[in-house]
Chain A
């Protein structure tokens, strides 16, 4: 099935055209989550969908050259660590766990920074987990 898809010229050209916009929209949803709908979870899934589309059209190997399975595994941990790290940072600065008020001098600015970092952590982990599951399924070979 994979080789048949890869021979389609229309798919390759349209894919090349669409993927940048998918990634850009994902970044927009990530960064604009404070003001519009969206946030880390949605952004992570959308960006991962863009990467998976790339793998569907051009194959798994080229994608794994861009994002190695090791990078994906690091990303899974990095996002959760960032989220929990914000909580611990607010603990060390004298607030409660995940109380962003103390992160900066102004409580509202602290909230902005905390929400941005936390959403970033969510986005990184969701993106990595989606790619990890895709890598698992796409690279899986039934044992003989």
Chain B
């Protein structure tokens, strides 16, 4: 039922991607990348991946657009013209073709006999109600069955935050470190 909407959204994604590529006004390109994420979030919603859609909408369309705009305020408003070369197009084309070739062996979308649905998924689906008692199985898997993985992911985010704080952290740090007589 949702297939026509999906096709429409995919065409929209393609149009936005090409528009971002061809645009020389960086401000407009930044806004279009936000729109790209919003459309991608809509696609995730159609695939019943509501958690991913929420994340994509908040991070991709919201926060990263703000960060790109923040970066833009330190640079030029228009893109510097570069010599056109065919090499990037060839690389992208070959990589894309390899990825499509890789999908040929994969089970069909939504196939119940796919290996991923045969291993631990049945236990999560049938046992999590009595073992964990949380109606949302995604949460049960992420927080309980796969708690180690989530702790690892959180550590990755923690490391990213610490790295950003150390590298370009709030200006207050720089003021602290300055010698007392320095009035710059």
Contacts and interface: CB of A to CB of B under 8 A. Distances in A.
Are A and B genuine complex partners?
yes
Interface of A: 1, 29, 33-39, 41-42, 45-46, 48-49, 52, 56, 64, 69, 73, 76-77, 79-80, 83-84, 87, 97-98, 100, 107-108, 111-112, 114-115, 118-119, 121-122, 125-126, 128-130, 132-142
Interface in B103-144: 130-136, 138-140, 142-144
Interface of B: 50-51, 54-55, 58-59, 62-63, 66-67, 70-71, 73-74, 130-136, 138-140, 142-144, 147-148, 150-151, 154-155, 157-158, 160-162, 164-165, 167-172
A39 B67 contact: no
Given A73-B165, A140-B168, A33 B58 contact: no
Given A37-B51, A137-B70, A114 B165 contact: no
Contacts of B70: 134, 137-138
Contact of B143 (A39, A49, A52, A108): A39
Contacts of A108: 130-133
A52 B139 contact: no
A87 B66 contact: no
Residue among B135, B136, B155 having the largest count of chain A Cβ atoms under 10 Å: B136
Contacts of B155: 80
Given A73-B165, A98-B148, A125 B158 contact: yes
Contact of A126 (B73, B133, B157, B171): B157
Contact of A134 (B54, B59, B67, B136): B67
- A-B pairs with lowest CB-CB distance, top 7: A129-B161, A37-B50, A98-B147, A108-B133, A69-B170, A45-B58, A136-B168
A11 B130 CA distance: 49
Nearest to A136: B168
B132 A111 contact: yes
Nearest to A97: B148
